[in-house]
């Protein structure tokens, strides 16, 4: 796909999509009791990283003030295509010798898009996966299954993070994820429809994260009198996960079935990370001044060290606040027991009533964020979710109508949220935090109807009211300390729904159809923030507005081939999927404009 974002003060464009995906599968059945399935999957993505729309100025460090050029910068038009950007992104750390982009950092028609030490927005990300499933029937009722897989993701991704032509914030991200997984399980059947599973698995994850952030044109600089060049955040993590599990399903009668399962999981994480100097020595020199300042404030003898170019410069603990030359090591060892239990009841044919309760965990994690102080590197604890659900599924009128519905309650403990810490020098800086108590209450309904063989309808609506229970104090993106008690989760719209219709008709010796979908999403917030309407900035500045989108399609098909033309967001609705405060600007990440295409498929 060609560029869909267009500069509104420059001729620069972005948004091109270039993705190749491949898959191969080989099935092997040498005997009636043994089978193996080898799957190979991968993709390569050279698409542009999306650019946000500039819609406001909020200084990260009001003491320094904001570049007058940014204050006077025109806001993006209310058009999904409009998005300004710098001509390229600084990647100087990855090219030797070090050479930061010369001033004025912003748009220049004389600088080529791929200038030395400067890269276009095209990312170079790759992923591949090998998986092998082997099954051996030990008896007519017992089966041994082995699941083995290896996955590798490599990232090389530039980010133009300010939506303007000046260098307020941009980053070059590199890293990888390396995953090895093995599971063995026994499964079997008993009685009249009962079944059981027991097993164990092991997973090892190795990750490396690095991003070079450049913000020389922002109010972050000067910092303590030093004009900051780029900084480089890096961390390495190794995670070992061990688990054993079991599940059983028992029919008590033709109408009632009960089921339950348990899983014990142990997770061990080793971590080392730091915010390194970007190569010109400015962050190292600033770090020394911060160390001395903190020591002086808290009554210690200043003993700051200048770690030099490329050195680990994140400030450490009292009394010296010195960085650790090799980075800050840490570990996180956690375990948990998750479970699931429920009952299915079929009072009449084609109707199911069910109720279940389950508990699961999201593993604790170390953050990858720009780090001035070592406290930003502290991990978020594992997140616990206990879910309660009651629902029904029913097929009526000779299978021409399908109705599904459920009500649910989700009880969270230590939910992981991207929060903030208020840094003495730089203001609000991101940190991964835990919200002690929170919950979600809601319901969902869906319907599939075929009043005639040629006409099909489907639709659904869901409501999920999230909230923070009890007191939860943190900083909003603008550095304001607040109690977020009662606030909904970020990026969690309470209402959503869709309606879809399709009409099929004969077209000569072909089958034709036309159809369309209308989907709705309620408004939501992109962050916890102060809701006082008198606050500056106002509480709704990071709000995502409600939106309704319309997609249309039409096609023909016959035997083993089909051809479809389609349009998405056909009324060119201007909406955004996220809003954020980055350095001195506030950005919106817009959804795609009206997009049209054609899809042809053929099965051999």
> Using one digit for the tens of pLDDT, what is the confidence trace for 481-491?
889 999 999 99
Are the C-beta atoms of 518 and 553 separated by less than 8 Å?
Answer: no
Whether residues 47 and 141 share a domain: the answer is yes
Instruction: Please tell me the predicted confidence (pLDDT) of residue 97.
Output: 42
The CA distance from 604 to 602, in Å, is 7
pLDDT confidence bin for 113, thresholds 50/70/90: low
Task: Please write the tens of the pLDDT for every residue from 184-214.
Answer: 999 999 988 899 999 999 999 999 999 999 8
Check residue 427 and give left, alpha or beta (phi > 0: left; psi -120 to 50: alpha).
left
160 inside domain: yes
Instruction: Please tell me the predicted confidence (pLDDT) of residue 96.
Output: 46
Mean local confidence (pLDDT), 343-358 = 96
Taking CA atoms, 509 is separated from 502, 503, 506, 565, in Å, by 20, 17, 7, 19
* End-to-end CA, the chain: 27
Whether residues 176 and 319 share a domain: the answer is no
* Domain count of the fold of the chain: 2
Are the C-beta atoms of 170 and 229 separated by less than 8 Å?
Answer: no
pLDDT confidence bin for 116, thresholds 50/70/90: low
Are the C-beta atoms of 311 and 277 separated by less than 8 Å?
Answer: yes
433 inside domain: no
334 inside domain: no
Distance of CA 116 to the CA centre of its chain: 31
Which alpha helices (DSSP H) does 337-436 contain, by range? Answer: none
pLDDT at 98 exceeding the cut of 50: no
pLDDT at 109 exceeding the cut of 70: no
198 inside domain: yes
CB-based contacts of 448, cutoff 8 Å, min separation 6: 401, 402, 456, 457, 458
Tokens of 199: 């097993």
Whether residues 47 and 109 share a domain: the answer is yes
Whether residues 218 and 294 share a domain: the answer is no
523 inside domain: no
Task: Supply the mean pLDDT for the chain.
Answer: 91
Residue 41 sits at φ, ψ, to 5 deg, of: -140, 145
Distance of CA 177 to the CA centre of its chain: 15
The CA distance from 244 to 201, in Å, is 7
More confident residue, 223 or 22: 22
Secondary structure, 3-state, 453-504? CCEEEEEEEEEEEEEECCCCEEECCCCCEEECCCCCCCCCCCEEEEEEEEEE
Are the C-beta atoms of 226 and 252 separated by less than 8 Å?
Answer: no
pLDDT at 338 exceeding the cut of 50: yes
The CA distance from 143 to 189, in Å, is 9
The CA distance from 229 to 360, in Å, is 44
The CA distance from 74 to 583, in Å, is 17
| Range scoring the smallest mean pLDDT among 82-86, 131-135, 213-217 | 213-217
Long-range CB pairs of 100-106, under 8 A, 24+ apart, other chains included: 100/214, 100/216, 100/229, 100/230, 100/278, 100/279, 100/280, 101/167, 101/214, 104/166, 105/166, 105/167, 105/216, 105/217, 106/69, 106/164, 106/165, 106/166, 106/167, 106/217
Tokens of 507: 């077209």
Task: Please write the tens of the pLDDT for every residue from 118-151.
Answer: 788 999 999 999 999 999 999 999 999 999 999 9
Mean local confidence (pLDDT), 510-524 = 96
The structure tokens 């599924």 sit at 393
Instruction: Please tell me the predicted confidence (pLDDT) of residue 336.
Output: 98
The structure tokens 């319907």 sit at 447
Burial (CB count <10 Å: 0-12, 13-18, 19+), residue 214: buried
Query: Which of 118, 71, 67 has the alpha carbon at shortest distance from 90?
Result: 118
Whether residues 300 and 158 share a domain: the answer is no
Instruction: Please tell me the predicted confidence (pLDDT) of residue 501.
Output: 97
- The residues facing 127 across adjacent strands are 43, 153
Whether residues 283 and 212 share a domain: the answer is no
pLDDT at 459 exceeding the cut of 90: yes
Mean local confidence (pLDDT), 284-300 = 91
Instruction: Respond yes or no on whether the N-terminal peptide bond of residue 319 is cis (omega within 30° of 0).
Output: yes
CB-based contacts of 118, cutoff 8 Å, min separation 6: 87, 88, 89, 90, 91, 92, 101, 111
The CA distance from 557 to 555, in Å, is 7
346 inside domain: no
The CA distance from 313 to 311, in Å, is 6
Mean local confidence (pLDDT), 468-490 = 89
| Range scoring the smallest mean pLDDT among 150-154, 207-211, 395-399, 572-576 | 395-399
Are the C-beta atoms of 271 and 239 separated by less than 8 Å?
Answer: no
pLDDT confidence bin for 477, thresholds 50/70/90: confident
392 inside domain: no
Mean local confidence (pLDDT), 397-411 = 95
pLDDT confidence bin for 228, thresholds 50/70/90: confident
Mean local confidence (pLDDT), 55-84 = 92
The CA distance from 19 to 125, in Å, is 10
Which alpha helices (DSSP H) does 151-242 contain, by range? Answer: none
pLDDT at 421 exceeding the cut of 80: no
The CA distance from 13 to 15, in Å, is 7
The CA distance from 168 to 160, in Å, is 9
Instruction: Please tell me the predicted confidence (pLDDT) of residue 552.
Output: 98
Whether residues 166 and 313 share a domain: the answer is no
Residue 293: domain span: 275-325
- The residues facing 86 across adjacent strands are none
Taking CA atoms, 597 is separated from 18, 109, 262, 568, 592, in Å, by 15, 33, 47, 9, 13
Whether residues 154 and 300 share a domain: the answer is no
The CA distance from 348 to 195, in Å, is 23
Element (H, E) at 68: helix 68-71
Q: Where are the beta strands (DSSP E) in 191-325?
A: 194-214, 231-251, 256-277
Largest interatomic CA distance in the chain:
90
Whether residues 21 and 103 share a domain: the answer is yes
Whether residues 301 and 218 share a domain: the answer is no
Instruction: Please tell me the predicted confidence (pLDDT) of residue 424.
Output: 72
Whether residues 1 and 93 share a domain: the answer is yes
Instruction: Please tell me the predicted confidence (pLDDT) of residue 300.
Output: 87
Residue where one domain finishes, among candidates 224, 239, 262: 224
604 inside domain: no
């Amino acid at each position: 796909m060609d560029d869909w974002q267009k500069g509104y003060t420059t001729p620069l464009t972005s948004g091109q999509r270039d993705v190749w995906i491949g898959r191969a599968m080989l099935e092997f059945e040498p005997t009636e009791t043994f089978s193996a399935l080898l799957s190979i999957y991968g993709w390569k993505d050279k698409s542009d990283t999306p650019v946000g729309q500039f819609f406001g100025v909020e200084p990260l460090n009001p003491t320094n003030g904001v570049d007058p050029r940014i204050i006077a910068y025109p806001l993006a038009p209310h058009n999904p295509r409009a998005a300004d950007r710098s001509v390229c992104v600084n990647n100087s750390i990855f090219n030797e010798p070090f050479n930061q982009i010369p001033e004025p950092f912003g748009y220049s028609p004389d600088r080529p898009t791929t200038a030395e030490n400067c890269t276009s927005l095209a990312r170079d990300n790759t992923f591949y996966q090998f998986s092998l499933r082997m099954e051996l029937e030990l008896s007519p009722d017992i089966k041994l299954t082995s699941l083995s897989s290896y996955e590798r993701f490599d990232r090389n991704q530039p980010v133009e993070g300010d939506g303007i032509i000046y260098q307020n914030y941009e980053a070059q991200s590199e890293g990888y994820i390396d995953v090895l997984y093995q599971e063995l399980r026994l499964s079997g059947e008993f009685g009249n429809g009962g079944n059981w599973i027991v097993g164990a698995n092991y997973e090892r994850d190795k990750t490396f994260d690095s991003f070079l952030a450049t913000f020389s044109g922002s109010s972050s600089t000067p910092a303590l009198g030093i004009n900051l060049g780029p900084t480089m955040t890096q961390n390495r993590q190794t995670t070992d996960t061990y688990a054993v599990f079991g599940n059983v399903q028992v029919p008590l009668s033709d109408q009632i079935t009960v089921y339950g399962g348990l899983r014990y999981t142990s997770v061990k994480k080793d971590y080392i990370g730091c915010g390194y100097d970007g190569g010109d020595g400015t962050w190292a020199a600033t770090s020394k001044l911060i160390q001395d300042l903190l020591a002086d404030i808290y009554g210690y003898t200043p003993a700051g060290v200048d770690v030099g170019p490329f050195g680990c410069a994140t400030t450490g603990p009292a009394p010296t606040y010195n960085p650790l030359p090799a980075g800050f090591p840490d570990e996180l060892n956690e375990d948990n027991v998750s479970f699931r239990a429920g009952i299915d009841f079929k009072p009449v044919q084609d109707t199911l009533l069910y109720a279940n309760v389950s508990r699961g965990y999201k593993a604790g994690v170390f953050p990858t964020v720009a780090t001035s102080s070592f406290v930003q590197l502290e991990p978020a604890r594992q997140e616990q979710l206990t879910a309660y659900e009651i629902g029904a599924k029913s097929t009526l009128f000779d299978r021409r109508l399908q109705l599904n519905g459920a009500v649910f309650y989700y009880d969270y403990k230590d939910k992981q949220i991207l929060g903030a810490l208020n840094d003495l020098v730089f203001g609000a800086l991101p940190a991964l935090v835990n919200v002690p108590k929170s919950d979600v209450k809601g319901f969902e309904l869906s319907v599939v109807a075929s009043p005639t063989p040629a006409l099909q309808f489907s639709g659904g609506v869901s409501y999920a009211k999230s909230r923070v229970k009890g007191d939860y104090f943190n900083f909003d993106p603008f550095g304001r300390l607040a109690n977020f008690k009662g606030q909904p989760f970020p990026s969690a719209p309470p209402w959503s729904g869709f309606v879809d219709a399709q009409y099929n008709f004969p077209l000569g010796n072909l089958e034709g159809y036309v159809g369309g979908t209308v989907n709705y999403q309620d408004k939501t917030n992109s962050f916890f923030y102060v809701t006082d309407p008198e606050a500056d900035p106002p509480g709704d500045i990071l709000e995502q507005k409600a939106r309704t989108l319309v997609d249309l399609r039409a096609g023909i098909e016959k035997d083993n081939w089909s051809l479809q033309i389609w349009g998405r967001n056909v009324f060119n609705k201007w909406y955004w999927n996220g809003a954020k405060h980055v350095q001195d600007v506030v950005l919106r990440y817009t959804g795609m404009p009206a997009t049209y295409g054609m899809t042809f498929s053929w099965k051999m």
